[in-house]
Copies of this chain bind each other. A is one copy, B any other.
Amino acid sequence: MASVDRTLVADLPLFAGLAPEQLDELLREAQSVRYPKGMTVFQQDAEAHSFFVLLHGHLRVYKLTPDGQQVVVRFVSAGEVFGVAMAIGRTTYPATAVAVVDSIALVWPSVAWPRLIAKHPTLAVNTLQTVGSRLQDAHARVVEMSTEQVERRIAHALLRLAQQSGRKVEAGVEIDFPISRQDVAEMTGTTLHTVSRVLSAWEDRGFVAGGRQKITILEPHRLFVLAEGGLP
């Protein structure tokens, strides 16, 4: 298993402020693992044996409720750390992560975490920033779910997706991984029926273009106005 090229990951936020030799040292301990589309990377409530950095692809992270409903926590894009259960004081994963497209991740054993942060405290600081921004995302979502009705929540979700995983195409910005109406419903606390209705209405108005597991935002600004409470 060949070592990972430093230049591929040197710019990631997690490794900010590390010297090249330190980075090499870290990478030497990591495994690079392929996850084909549909494969589970880790499972909710399972022992948190590893933590990860996504090199390529996209993951869908979701929580399963006791009665079997899924709630999408987020989608992981290339370059992000994930599965850092140990760092936040857990011994099990709080959610399940599944590859939505063929993906590749760097994998470290969780047991190495305490030693790694002892040697490179910068890692803890950088992870703190990452977890902090996720906390802000989560709070933003709580605020939205508390105060906005469905249409605006969907608009916000789409804008966030576009920002995090958008790809510019001729017509606008498209979410660059397969995403269903059901996924959007599970991100916004509604049903796939309502999402379908809303997207259809937007399509009629020319804000977005749909497709099977595909959403393209044609008029980001219009959508933004709608998300912020501009007249319907």
Binding site for B on A (CB under 8 A): 63, 65-67, 69, 71, 73, 87-90, 94-95, 117-118, 121, 124-125, 127-129, 131-136, 138-139, 141-143, 145-147, 186, 188-189, 228-229
Contacts and interface: CB of A to CB of B under 8 A. Distances in A.
Contact of A66 (B69, B133, B228): B228
A204 to B, nearest CB: 27
A129 B84 CA distance: 11
Given A124-B121, A145-B146, A146-B186, A135 B133 contact: no
A147 B89 contact: no
B131 A132 contact: yes
Contacts of A133: 88-89
A117 B121 contact: yes
Contact of A124 (B73, B124, B142): B124
15 contacts: A63-B139, A66-B228, A71-B142, A88-B129, A88-B132, A88-B133, A95-B139, A118-B121, A124-B124, A124-B128, A127-B128, A131-B132, A138-B138, A138-B142, A145-B145
A66 B156 CA distance: 15
Nearest to A63: B143
A204 B133 CA distance: 43
